[in-house]
Each structure stands twice: as C-alpha cells, then as structure tokens.
C-alpha cells in the first residue's frame, strides 16, 4: 500500500477515533445481549446513548467536513478517497435531519417499542396505531429530506440497500412471488410428506453447543478470532475483523434452533472476518449492505448446510454429537424433515419457500404507508388480506398478525426487503461460484475453504468499497436476476418432493 501523507494520516487517525467508539459500542451490545447481569441493564442504555452521541457528533462535525473536502481536493490514494466518500455519505445524510427532530424521533421510537409490547399483550392494535402513524410520518419527512428520484420509499431503501429502488422491487418481487406460489402448491400437492417430529427429541445443551462449535469450525469460522455465546435472539457482533462474536439460542428438544442459527450467524461472521485488512479501522471495514450481509448468512445456512451433499457426508458425524434417537432416523428421513414447507402466520417461523412471501407483503405495506396509499389505522385489515393473498392463511389476532414484528416500532422502514434481496444475491452468487468451484465435490470432502475463498475473493474482501449491485455485477457479470433463486429452489424442492 502507498505511503500516506501526513494529512492523510491525520484523517485516518480521526477515523480510528470513530472506530474506537464503534468497537466499544459493539462490545457493549454483545455484553448486553449475552453477559450483562440484570442490575447492569438500566444504566447501560445511558452509556450507549452518550457514546453513540459522541460518535455521531464526530461523524457530522465541521472537522469531518474539512477532512472530506481536503481529501477530495488533495489525495490520490484510493483507500483515502473511498473512505472520504463513505464519510461524506454519512455526513450528508445525518446533516439533513436537524438534531432536535432526530432526538424527538428516537424518543418516539423508544416509547413506541414499549407501547408495541403492550398492544401485543392486549391484542389491541389501536394502542399502537397513533405511534405507528407518527413514525410513518417521520419516515415520510426523512425521505423527503434525504431526497429521491421516483418514489419516496426509494430514499429509505437506499439507506439499507444502495441502488435498490421501488422500480427494481416492483419488477423482481412479482416474478418471485409467482414462482414461489407455484412451488408451494406443488409441495402441498406432493404425496411426499416431511415428518418434523423426527427431529424433535431432548438434545442436551452442552452437546448442541459442541455441535454448533464443530460446525462453525468446519465452515471456517475462526474461533480464535471470535466466540459463541447464548442469547435470546441469535446475533453476530463484529467488533473488528479479528473479534467477531456469535450468539445462538438453545431449544432443548429441537436442535435446529441452535445449529442453523449458529450457522446463519457464522455466515455473517465469515463476511466480517474476511474483509480486507487494509480497510481495518475505517468505515469501509463493514459489509456492502444489509442485503449482502444477509446473502452470506443465508448462503451457509440454506445453500451449504441444508444441502443433501452436506448431510450425506456429515450425518454420521452429526450423530456422534446427537442423542441415540437419531440412530433410528435415516439420512433421507432427516433431510426431508429439514425441508418441511408450511405456510405459517409468523415470519420468523417460516421456511425458505414461504419466508419471502412474508417479506414481500411487508414491502407492499411499507411502500403504501410511505407514499400515503395506506393509513396505519387500516393495517390490521390490509395485513389479513395480504396474508390470505400471499399465503392462504389468516391470523386470528393481531399479535400473530400485524403486531408480530418489532421493526416498525423501532422505526426500521426499508429494512425488510434486504432479507429477500440477500436470498436473491446468494442464489445468483452461488450460480456463478459453481462454475468456478466444484461445489458438489467440495461437499464430498468437507472442503469449505474453496467455497469460502471464492466468497472472500468476490465479496468479503471489498468491505464497503463496492455497493451491493456493483459487487453482484462484478462477481456474476450480470444485474440482479431472480431467476437463479427460483431455479435453485425448483430443482431442490422438486427433487425432495418429486415434482
């Protein structure tokens, strides 16, 4: 790497200061999810609030603006220019919202989260409705301030998934929906029936944990640069490239909860552990986007450790961790049970075929709220209608319906689509990867390094230096194309359900 000028070094030091806040905040977040004693919870939110404020202060400071301008005018170092561009984006976005307004919004969301919980408990949407209405209003306002070309919702999509617009999603999602609907119908019509009860048996936590760790090591998660903890919601915490921690949750009689969550989070971690070392300490040392991050977690969860080849090679090994019960479950019964398909009311319980349906209907609602076509008060009815249309099931109450997700109470609009975009990215990347790496052969020998290295070379190493659609195009020589996911799922589920 080129030597830095003294001014460039000052800029990097300034970025390292902000990185120190981020590393501390991520460590505190990990601690809050996995280790903190009950007594420590109360004052933690104040500490996090203060340090986040200091970080934002630096990111939107005049000093930052001066650095950005000076780097753009004087530097010819690529890393410096990319970092300055990233800083400028954050600076511009944050400066567009007046501080006082943002504080009001944060306070509103914090209250809304509590009210959302209460509304769920009482199954009373009307408690939450005024909050949701105001939060949607703020997001309309923010979108106006951020600016957009065609649709107001584009401004929020761009925050989570740069380059993705309503236009893209309105092309991609209907096609995907149609294909998935067909697949789900074929599965439902198939004489083949999965029996998930075969997977449910007491499985001691200590053995589940050993299995999770062994599987993480198998796929190449560097345990010495991370750790596996327990939390209510599985998560990954990227403190820095050499300290990426994971958490999973243990369900006593269903090992799938811990193992597939661990692998999912492990996929996120493989991304973070393999970002280019030259980006460390800068804001470029992060994933390209939410969706690209999700592509990596879904990849290892769905495309690798849910592949028949994986279990053909490893089912006996799995049994060495598992209770006796699995001795009487054949490989094929086990694999079929892992691929049960069922329209569920709850997003987080959904399988790979129905999950995108949950996302796409939420996309409809967010878009409607943002452009004013829908009103918060009408959401319970709209929700149930969409559930009927998309999945053919209708919740009996709002707790299992419109109130099921925390996202909107936290103000997370424009975030849901990334889950399905990640799935599409994963399938498209998989399609190209298979041409360059003998995937099926790799599974036969547990050679995950070859697979992982392809992703490191084509995705991980770039961190945030490439936007997701550029990354995808550079890796696959093609724009976003939902065909690959549909083809993959058709082939996979066709083989399992014999259609």
Site residues (vs its own copies, CB under 8 A): 16-17, 19-21, 23-24, 27-28, 31, 35-40, 42-44, 46-47, 50-51, 54, 222-227, 239-240, 242-243, 245, 280-281
Provide the minimum distance between the beta carbon of 35 and its own copies in the complex, in angstroms, as a whole number.
7
101 noted as active-site residue: no
237: left (phi over 0), alpha (psi -120 to 50) or beta: beta
Tokens of 94: 């944050």
Provide the minimum distance between the beta carbon of 239 and its own copies in the complex, in angstroms, as a whole number.
6
Provide the minimum distance between the beta carbon of 264 and its own copies in the complex, in angstroms, as a whole number.
20
Nearer CB in complex with its own copies: 269/459: 269
Pairing outcome for strands 243-248 and 228-230: parallel
Tokens of 374: 């829908």
What do you get for the CA distance between the two ends of the chain, in Å? Answer: 54
Nearer CB in complex with its own copies: 32/371: 32
In terms of Cα–Cα distance, which of 341, 345, 344 is closest to 404? 345
N residues, the chain = 499
Nearer CB in complex with its own copies: 44/375: 44
Nearer CB in complex with its own copies: 15/489: 15
Q: Cα-atom radius of gyration of the chain, to the nearest Å?
A: 23
Nearer CB in complex with its own copies: 49/130: 49
Nearer CB in complex with its own copies: 225/378: 225
Residues 6+ apart with CB under 8 A from 13: none
What backbone torsions phi and psi does residue 239 show, to the nearest 5 degrees?
A: -75, -50
Provide the minimum distance between the beta carbon of 347 and its own copies in the complex, in angstroms, as a whole number.
32
Provide the minimum distance between the beta carbon of 427 and its own copies in the complex, in angstroms, as a whole number.
32
Q: Rounded to whole angstroms, how far apart are CA atoms 191 and 491?
A: 17
Provide the minimum distance between the beta carbon of 218 and its own copies in the complex, in angstroms, as a whole number.
18
Nearer CB in complex with its own copies: 136/269: 269
Residues 6+ apart with CB under 8 A from 81: 71, 72, 75
The catalytically annotated residue of 86, 129, 161, 265 is: 265
Tokens of 431: 């399609």
Provide the minimum distance between the beta carbon of 452 and its own copies in the complex, in angstroms, as a whole number.
17
Residues 6+ apart with CB under 8 A from 57: none
Nearer CB in complex with its own copies: 206/232: 206
Provide the minimum distance between the beta carbon of 52 and its own copies in the complex, in angstroms, as a whole number.
10
Nearer CB in complex with its own copies: 87/471: 87
Provide the minimum distance between the beta carbon of 282 and its own copies in the complex, in angstroms, as a whole number.
13
The total of other beta-carbon atoms located within 10 Å of residue 287's CB is 23
> Residue for token digits 């209608």?
385
Q: Rounded to whole angstroms, how far apart are CA atoms 314 and 311?
A: 5
Q: Rounded to whole angstroms, how far apart are CA atoms 38 and 359?
A: 34
Q: Which residues are catalytic?
A: 265
């Amino acid at each position: 790497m080129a030597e830095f000028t003294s001014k460039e070094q000052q800029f990097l030091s300034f970025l390292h200061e902000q990185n120190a806040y981020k590393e501390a905040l991520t460590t505190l977040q990990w601690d809050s999810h996995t280790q903190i004693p009950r007594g420590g919870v109360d004052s933690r939110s104040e500490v996090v609030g203060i340090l986040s404020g200091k970080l934002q202060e630096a990111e939107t400071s005049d000093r930052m603006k001066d650095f950005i301008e000076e780097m753009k005018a004087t530097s010819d170092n690529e890393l410096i220019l990319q970092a300055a561009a990233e800083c400028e984006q954050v600076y511009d976005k944050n400066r567009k919202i007046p501080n006082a307004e943002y504080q009001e919004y944060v306070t509103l969301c914090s209250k809304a989260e509590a009210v959302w919980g209460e509304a769920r408990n009482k199954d009373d949407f009307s408690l939450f409705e005024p909050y949701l209405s105001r939060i949607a209003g703020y997001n309309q306002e923010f979108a106006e301030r951020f600016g957009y070309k065609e649709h107001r919702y584009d401004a929020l999509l761009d925050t989570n998934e740069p380059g993705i617009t309503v236009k893209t999603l309105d092309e991609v999602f209907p096609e995907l929906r149609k294909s998935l609907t067909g697949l789900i119908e074929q599965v439902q019509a198939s004489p083949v029936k999965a029996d998930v009860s075969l997977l449910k048996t007491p499985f001691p936590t200590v053995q589940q944990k050993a299995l999770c760790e062994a599987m993480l090591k198998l796929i190449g998660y560097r345990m010495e640069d991370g750790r596996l903890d327990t939390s209510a919601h599985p998560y990954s915490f990227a403190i820095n490239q050499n300290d990426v921690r994971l958490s999973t949750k243990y369900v006593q009689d269903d090992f799938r909860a811990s193992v597939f969550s661990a692998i999912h989070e492990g996929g996120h971690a493989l991304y973070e552990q393999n970002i280019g070392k030259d980006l460390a300490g800068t804001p470029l040392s992060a994933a390209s986007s939410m969706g690209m991050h999700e592509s990596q977690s879904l990849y290892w969860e769905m495309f690798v450790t849910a592949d028949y080849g994986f279990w053909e090679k490893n089912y006996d090994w799995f049994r060495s961790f598992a209770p006796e019960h699995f001795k009487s479950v054949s490989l094929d019964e086990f694999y079929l049970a892992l691929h049960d398909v069922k329209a569920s009311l709850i997003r987080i319980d959904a399988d790979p075929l129905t999950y995108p349906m949950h996302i796409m209907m939420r996309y409809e609602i967010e878009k409607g709220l943002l452009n004013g076509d829908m009103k918060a008060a009408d959401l319970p009815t709209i929700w149930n209608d969409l559930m009927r249309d998309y999945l053919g099931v209708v919740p009996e109450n709002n707790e299992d319906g419109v109130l099921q997700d925390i996202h909107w109470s936290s103000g997370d609009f424009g975030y849901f689509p990334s889950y399905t975009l990640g799935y599409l990215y994963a399938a498209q990347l998989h399609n190209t990867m298979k041409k360059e790496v003998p995937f099926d052969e790799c599974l036969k020998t547990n050679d995950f390094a070859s697979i992982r290295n392809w992703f490191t070379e084509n995705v991980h190493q770039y961190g945030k230096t490439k936007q997701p659609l550029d990354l995808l195009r550079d890796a696959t020589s093609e724009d976003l194309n939902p065909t690959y996911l549909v083809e993959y799922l058709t082939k996979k589920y066709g083989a399992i359900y014999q259609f």
